[in-house]
Amino acid sequence: MTGAQEQAVDDERRAIDVVRSLAMDAPHAARSGHQGTAMALAPLAHVLWTRVLTYDADDPSWPDRDRFILSAGHASILLYSMLHLTGHGLTLDDLREFRQWGSTTPGHPEVGHTAGVEVTTGPLGQGIANGVGMAIAERNLRARFGAELTDHHTFVVCGDGDLAEGISHEAASLAGHLGLGRLIAVYDDNHVTIDGPTELALSDDAPARFRSYGWHVIDLGEAAEDLDAMEVGIRAAMAVNDRPSLVVLRSHIGHPSPDVDTSAVHGYSLTDEGISETKQRMGLPDEPFHVPDDVATLYWSAGRRGAGARTEWEARLTSSGIDRSVWTAAWAGGGVHGWADALPTWEVGAAVATRKAGNACLQALLDVVPGLIGGGADLTGNTGTTISGHGVQGPECPEGRQIFFGVREHAMGAICNGLALHGGMLPVNGTFLVFSDYMRGAVRLAALSGAKNIFVWSHDSVGVGEDGPTHQPVEHAAALRTIPNLRVIRPADANETAGAWRTIVDGTGPAALLLTRQDVPVLPGTDDYSAVARGGYVLADPEGVPEVILIGTGSEVSVAMDAAATLTAAGRSVRVVSMPCMEDFASQDDAYRTSVLPGDVPTLSIEAGVTFGWDRWADRCIGIDRFGASAPGGRVMAELGINAEALVAAAVDLLST
């Protein structure tokens, strides 16, 4: 090795030690955080961010950049250190504010909050599934728009906790089945958990497991300090295009501190003495947040290695023969000009299950909303998430837009988050509403991330019938409505379903469509998109001032209409309000909400689920505050009081008090 080469090696080692120093300093300043994993993986981060990843720090959202996901999100200070050093906009002051109110360096990475963070991670295993979604997106866009516009890799750094969580098994199994090349997961095999050694609870053979899933596995062994060996291994994985790759790296958590290989250093164990000793071992000054100019220059330059690739890509995009309106619509998660005209309509009086109406909408939009992609968790036809005529996603049909997720609800939701956050995709995923419990972690992260992910949950009430209470949702709509930033839409009929689809494509962030298994009548007035978009509106009104207001949602809107007819015939003055989306209605101004629900008119709601949350809008609530029963759906509804007779009786009683 020449003197210049030796100096270059020394420079890299010193730069890595600076990253390790920051990984100790920021949690110490916060008196909170995770030091050890970031310290152990500093060499890996260095290799990725200076040698391997294609990106341009001056344009963190460049569409053809490589994607980097830190699934082990507790090690966020590692990512923040690299983003600071490579010039993504984070300052040393931001690192000093690690985990503090209003900072851009929260305890776990949050997409949209910090430039350069691709997905929101923290709950373990989610990032692996997100990576699968991003790899599907890359392959699909490459097949549809050409490799000159889409040609990148997805890298995921994960640990024992990620692989222990069930979602990682679901996602890895599907990734192997789909043959997702260009997906590289680096497994930090450090043998340490919070409770102690991983051997307390884990004896899996991870390489064997991933091989059984169809992954290409490279076991680098004790190479966590060997920069060249890591680069060779990662590049070998990048060369495998017919299946995903797992690169196994045996690291030593907290290296080179005195707490190396302890469960304590998984968290915040290194304080003044430990930090001083570690910095002395590394030959660094005992000074917090010390970044020498030469190290800053090294990483700043690395952050701009991809500038030329980006400008070349921009030139290719400009000269490309693709339909730019389609490309733009895909990356906006929206439709081409006039896309809403493709939505179907239904005649008043027709009887249509909203899940079937939803599928008709989805099918009609595929040619005008180019990002649409997805399917169901072995319930594709049942939930109305069938995509016909556009291919089945897989190695033989990379352009395919139908994804068969199999019985993998949790991974399906997180994979679709990855599809959405990659860009160019508008994912839709379906299962029964009762199984939204299985995917709640991914749903919550979709809301936290602002991922434009369409959750289709059908069989939305005890109207499911004979399958019984295990398959009859009662608490699920209310539970989903408690999640901030998630729009929960339960349309009354087929035309409201079309309106809901329009609001979703026009909107931002995630949305949940709660759809019926059973047929429901198409009602007059539900085809007014401007009304549906407000979340709640007057569907039927008396000639004079209403004495009582009946609010319904989903299949119960027709029940409210029937009850209103009975009450009107008895001389009562009744308004019927359809409220497909509480969140949208709540976002309207006071004047509009008061025009729909005047405070001086008694109000009665009906929904085939728990009454929790309805007291905001109604004086009295009819619902199902118990589990269902196994019987035909109509019988279950009747026995549990979800019918016009019960609503009429409740209205009469309300008016008499």
Residue-wise pLDDT for 229-277, tens only, equals 999 999 999 999 999 999 999 999 999 999 999 999 999 999 999 999 9
Residue 432 has pLDDT above 70, yes or no: yes
- Tell me what pLDDT residue 90 has: 97
Q: 167-180, pLDDT tens digit by residue? A: 999 999 999 999 99
The tens digit of pLDDT for each residue in 116-152 reads 999 999 999 999 999 999 999 999 999 999 999 999 9
Q: Are residues 85 and 136 in the same domain?
A: yes
Residues in the chain: 657
pLDDT, mean of residues 96-116: 97
Question: Does residue 277 form part of some domain?
Answer: yes
> Is 336 in the same domain as 458?
yes
Of 521, 549, 574, at which residue does a domain stop?
Answer: 521
Do 386 and 433 belong together in one domain? yes
Are 291 and 338 in a shared domain? no
Q: Does 510 have pLDDT greater than 90?
A: yes
Give, rounded to a whole angstrom, the gap between the first and last alpha carbons of the chain: 93
Residues 504, 569 share a domain = no
What pLDDT is stored for residue 10 in this prediction?
84
Residue 324 lies in a domain: no
Q: What is the pLDDT of residue 474?
A: 97
285: domain CATH number? 3.40.50.970
Please write the tens of the pLDDT for every residue from 59-95.
999 999 999 999 999 999 999 999 999 999 999 999 9
Q: Share the mean pLDDT of the chain.
A: 97
Note the pLDDT tens digit of each residue in 46-56. 999 999 999 99
pLDDT exceeds cutoff 80 at 617: yes
Residues 297 and 367 in one domain: no
pLDDT tier at 226, thresholds 50, 70, 90:
very high
**Percent of the residues in the chain that have a pLDDT greater than 70, as a whole number:** 100
Q: What pLDDT does 1 receive?
A: 64
- Exposed (0-12), middle (13-18) or buried (19+): which is 100, by Cβ within 10 Å? middle
User: What is the arithmetic mean of pLDDT over 538-551?
Assistant: 96
* DSSP state, residue 523: P
Determine what percent of the chain is predicted with pLDDT higher than 90: 98
DSSP 102: T
Q: Is residue 314 part of a domain?
A: no
191: phi > 0 → left, psi -120 to 50 → alpha, else beta; which? left
Is 629 in the same domain as 497? no
Residues 584 and 441 occupy one common structural domain? no
In a domain, 279, yes or no: yes
Rounded CA-CA distance 657/647 in Å is 16
Is 21 inside any structural domain?
A: yes
Which pair of structure tokens corresponds to residue 265? 């250093």
Asked whether residue 8 carries a pLDDT value surpassing 90, the answer given is no
Say how many domains are in the chain. 3
Are both 301 and 350 inside the same structural domain? no
pLDDT of residue 524: 98
**Sign of the alpha-carbon torsion through 363, 367, 368, 371:** positive
Residue 132: count other Cβ atoms within 10 Å of its Cβ. 30
The answer to whether residue 2 scores a pLDDT higher than 80 is no
pLDDT of residue 630: 97
If asked whether residues 473 and 617 sit together in one domain, one would say no
| Average pLDDT estimate for 365-375 | 98
* Average pLDDT of span 338-351: 98
Asked if residue 316 is part of any domain, the answer here is: no
Phi/psi region, residue 459 (left: phi>0; alpha: psi -120 to 50; beta: rest), is: left
Same domain, 349 and 203: no
Residues 335-343: contacts with CB under 8 Å, at least 24 apart: 335/365, 335/368, 335/369, 335/370, 335/505, 336/368, 336/369, 336/370, 338/368, 339/365, 339/368, 339/369, 339/505, 340/502, 340/505, 340/506, 340/529, 342/367, 342/368, 343/498, 343/501, 343/502
List active site positions: 409
Residue 7 in this model has a pLDDT that exceeds 80: no
Mean pLDDT score, 18-29: 98
Evaluate if residue 97 carries a pLDDT over 90: yes
Instruction: Tell me the CA distances in angstroms from 312 to 309, 485, 614, 624, one per residue in order.
Output: 5, 38, 55, 60
Q: Give the mean model confidence (pLDDT) for residues 363-378.
A: 98
Q: Is 560 exposed, middle or buried (0-12, 13-18, 19+ CB in 10 A)?
A: buried
Domain check: are 509 and 643 in the same one? Answer: no
Is 530 a member of any domain? no
Section 542-548 average pLDDT: 95
pLDDT over 90 (residue 3): no
For residue 547, the domain's CATH number is 3.40.50.920
Instruction: Name the pLDDT band for 583 (thresholds 50, 70, 90).
Output: very high
Answer yes or no: is pLDDT of 437 > 70.
yes
| pLDDT in the model for residue 352 | 98
Q: Per-residue confidence at 6, pLDDT binned at 50, 70, 90?
A: confident
271: containing domain: 3-309
What are the φ/ψ torsions at residue 428 (nearest 5 degrees)?
-130, 135
Q: Is 327 within a domain?
A: no
